[in-house]
Amino acid sequence: MGLFDGKKGLILGVANDHSIAWAIAQEIMSQGGVCGFTHLPDRPDDARKRNHRRVSLLTDKCESAKFLVPLDVTNDENIAAVMSRAAEEFGKIDFLLHSIAYASLDDLKRDTIETSRDGFKLAMEISAYSLLAVANAARGILSDRSAILTMTYYGGERPVPGYNVMGICKAALDSCMKYLAYDLGPSGVRVNALSAGPVRTLAGRAAGVDDMLALYERMAPLGRNITHEEVGRTGAFLLSDMSDGVTGDILHVDAGFNIMGSPGRLLDEAPPQ
């Protein structure tokens, strides 16, 4: 018997097979859950429909993947259409994974103080407000004791050079998550965030993940980096009934990096003075 037997839900934000959202979805489906998926909308001039193709190569192989549709979180009508499709397929849903974030490369490469006004607004809308938008649109189809999970990062709690404007977005996302947990609590809906350490993903490359991997391996108490599978299992836990007393929380999966108040064992590598 699996943790998700009889459970169904939405997975928002799979980009390819390296996506954390895909790792979580795989764990859910391996535990008996069924999922509806969304992908980034394809550009009108993209005849190959690359975004759809990348995700469909994954979902087409899974009997537990019931549909795949585009989602533009800046468009309320599109969000409503996704929820309508989920209602048609599932009736009610038991879990919703929000793994969506965006900032332009131009703004990510700038010092935070130089972030453009338009870039800031777009990054905040997609990376933070979208959680409120999809949760509000899903209210009518969320089952009793359902769960919502979003993906955050330590750069929203402390400045991480290179993460820049996205760190501000994650701080806003963390706050949105907590207020949602309060608003939806009386309905029995739990809302949490998973803060993963660096792993190689499409978004991670834009944030300079390779440099962070080396740092985490030498600073984290476990002395190593995390894996997609570890994040997948923890994400599934937070969306399952096993975490039914947890809401409004940020759970770190980062080999303990977030607890450190000094460079730790990295100091052993410093040359003697």
179 assigned to active site: no
* Cα radius of gyration rounded to whole Å, the chain: 19
Which residues have a Cβ under 8 Å from the Cβ of 129 and sit 6 or more positions away? Answer: 176
153 assigned to active site: yes
Domains and CATH numbers, the chain: 8-258 (3.40.50.720)
Per-residue pLDDT for the chain (273 aa), expressed as one digit of tens each? 899 999 999 999 999 999 999 999 999 999 999 999 999 998 888 878 899 999 999 999 999 999 999 999 999 999 999 999 999 999 999 999 999 999 999 999 999 999 999 999 999 999 999 999 999 999 999 999 999 999 999 999 999 999 999 999 999 999 999 999 999 999 999 999 999 999 866 555 555 577 789 889 999 999 999 999 999 999 999 999 999 999 999 999 999 999 999 888 887 876 666
Give the whole-angstrom CA distance, residue 206 versus residue 86: 31
The single residue of 102, 153, 154, 216 carrying the catalytic annotation is 153
Which residues have a Cβ under 8 Å from the Cβ of 271 and sit 6 or more positions away? Answer: none
Residue 32, CA distances (Å) to 9, 26, 106, 215, 256 in order: 12, 10, 42, 37, 30
The single residue of 102, 129, 154, 163 carrying the catalytic annotation is 163
